[in-house]
A = this chain, B = another copy of it.
């Protein structure tokens, strides 16, 4: 035991600051674009680069509280969906870490959020840049944020396929076309035929027809539907498949 259990003195523990970075998605159903919220960095490092909205965790604040805080500083949204994504802790992911001196480390706990585009109002504070960026046109971001975004994008696609997040991001009453558009813009053109998508969802029985019709330009008016959380209950934790 003497030789093996204490070969060399172990290195001392690392000290961390913990950041929370949010990948906030929204879908512009008008233009069929998937958007992500970016902010312009005001300070070094990576000054004047776009990045995901983030913050460092303060005393007495949980991770999730921290995530909600940034969110509410950037955006006024009624409904939203939020969940933890991944924790990035590689050494050297933040240039403020001096690789030689074993100074404080920076950890990033990323969160994934989905907000309704129509009900989300960006908070411009007049100083910092903030904007919805089409995911397809995102530039090179600060830190490892491109990687985080990529990770969030993957999660979004999965979530949409097997869970009812779509209804967190749609207005209370929506047409089946709205729903279909949402799926199409996130999952790509050819994920399903419209009429089959329609039949499948209606058969599941958790979309209730409000009876109200809405007309958008030419064409036959569409029924407005509502997501019935009660009727959905039996599907909870079941492997849903919308695709």
Contact = CB atoms under 8 A, between A and B. Distances in A.
Interface string A1-21: 100010000111111111000
A12 B58 contact: yes
Interface string A87-101: 101110000000000
Interface in A148-163: 161
A103 to B, nearest CB: 9
A129 to B, nearest CB: 16
Interface stretch (A25-33, A38-46, A60-68, A164-172): A60-68
Given A109-B89, A239-B161, A58 B18 contact: no
Contacts of A1: 125-126
29 contacts: A1-B126, A5-B125, A10-B58, A11-B58, A12-B58, A12-B59, A13-B56, A13-B58, A14-B59, A15-B15, A16-B16, A16-B57, A18-B18, A18-B105, A18-B107, A59-B102, A60-B91, A60-B102, A61-B91, A62-B89, A62-B91, A63-B89, A63-B90, A63-B107, A84-B86, A87-B87, A89-B109, A107-B107, A161-B239
Interface of A: 1, 5, 10-18, 56-63, 84, 86-87, 89-91, 102, 105, 107, 109, 125-126, 161, 239
